[in-house]
Structure 1
Amino acid sequence: MTAEDELVSRPDKSADTAVPVHALLAQRWSPRVLDPATTIDDRTFTALFEAARWAPSWGNTQPARFIAARRGEPTFDRIFGVLSRGNKGWAGNAAMLVIGVARKLDDEGEPMPYGEYGLGLAAENLVLQAEAEGLHGHQMAGFDREAARAEFDVPADFEPTVAIAVGALGDLADADEGLRTKETRPRARKSLDEIVFTGSWSTPAF
């Protein structure tokens, strides 16, 4: 394989940053073309959820819960079954599928402050640990929350909020044209002067 072929099959998606940031952040992206042969061993599986477990949360309330399975396990197929049609088109090649669930109510039945925020922090910890393990995570809104609730008997005071596919990069040569287009599209973010302010809302910090 030539260097050009390698770039096509595994595109460089490193973030174009104003100053260098940690490689785990610069190299994190959300591929859809995943290697169907990649597996996740017990140590790595545990490490992903240890990373999630140690995420910060409001008042250490730890609102994040996860339903998870590796490809080949029955629960993997059940999670796959509640994904949207578009996500089913590629997520079956993931080494692991996860549903992230946020606690909505506290022990007194009152709304849990920052429950979804806490789940988001835990999910990002999981994804960054996946990067450290040489894997990638793709977080998805495209799944049926109520179907997930029914499928896994999620209690009423918890809310299925996000699905996550974890795996290794696959070969773009094996993907259809639509997926190849998405995978090779340049990554982009709003500029710093659009998102960071100082003094007042209308004064960019950069």
Structure 2
Amino acid sequence: MKPADSSVPLHPLLAERWSPRALDPHAELTDKQFTALFEAARWAPSWGNTQPARYIAGRRGDETFEKLHGTLSRGNRGWAGDASALVLGVARLTNEDGEALPYGEYGLGLATENLVLQAVGEGLVAHQMAGFDRQAARDAFGVPADHEPMVVIAVGAPGDAEQLPDRLREKEAAPRSRVPLAEFVFSGSWQEPTF
């Protein structure tokens, strides 16, 4: 594991969250773990309680997993097949009256972070991917036009980085980094650092 190098202590769920590609190809999620991912997502905050997040989820070996795996970019397809589950995150874009639903993508992001943190709490890891074919996902699952496929999440148990190709193994071993707080939080005016 690679805990965050933070300026103050963080809750372990946050400090331990990262996105490895090395996953245990034999690990399976229990029914309780699988369900808990989506309960966590379901209870995320959303604008006006509109709850715009939708998910399509499959476990390794089932048809949904295979269809999701087939939508991934070549680089992601190489390692994500070892995940215990693949999940497509979809944002609802309109309400029941066909009007634009504000903050749908933001709501999906909040729900997905809840899902990811629940995975960490279960001793699992999750890797979110933009590298997939949205249209292929839409076609494979009949996603309606007023919903947008946004992300695929690989969930599983940590694996052995030695199983990865050299380029990915180097990424796996690299230290985690973020911009410093001085470039991230401002007070008074834009780019006047708070910390």
Normalised to the residue count of structure 1, the TM-score between the two structures is 0.93
Shift of 1:173: 2.3
- Residue 131 of structure 2 corresponds to which residue in structure 1? 142
Give me the whole-angstrom Cα distance separating, in 2, the residues matched to 1:114 and 1:43: 30
Tell me the equivalent position of 2:62: 73
Equivalences for residues 105-116 of structure 1 within 5 A: 105-116=94-105
| Pair 1:13-2:18 in alignment | no
For the aligned residue pairs, the C-alpha RMSD in angstroms reads 0.7
Q: Does 1:30 align with 2:40?
A: no
SS in 2 for 1:197: coil
Q: Which amino acid aligns with 2:134?
A: R
Distance in 1, Cα, partners of 2:128 & 2:47: 22
In the alignment, what sits opposite 2:173? 184
Amino acid in the other structure paired with 1:44: Q
Question: Partner amino acid for 2:107?
Answer: G
Structure 1: distance between partners of 2:86 and 2:78: 14
Name the amino acid aligned to 2:118. Answer: Q
Cα distance in 2 for partners of 1:88, 1:38 equals 18
Pairing 1:1-206 to 2, within 5 Å after superposition? 12-206=1-195
Could you tell me the TM-score, scaled by structure 2's length?
0.98
SS in 1 for 2:108: helix
- State how many pairs are aligned: 195
| Structure 1 unaligned blocks of 5 or more | 1-11
Kept after mapping to 1: 8 A contact 2:183/2:191: no
Distance 2:131 2:154 in 1: 12
Identity of aligned residues (%): 65
Distance 1:67 1:172 in 2: 28
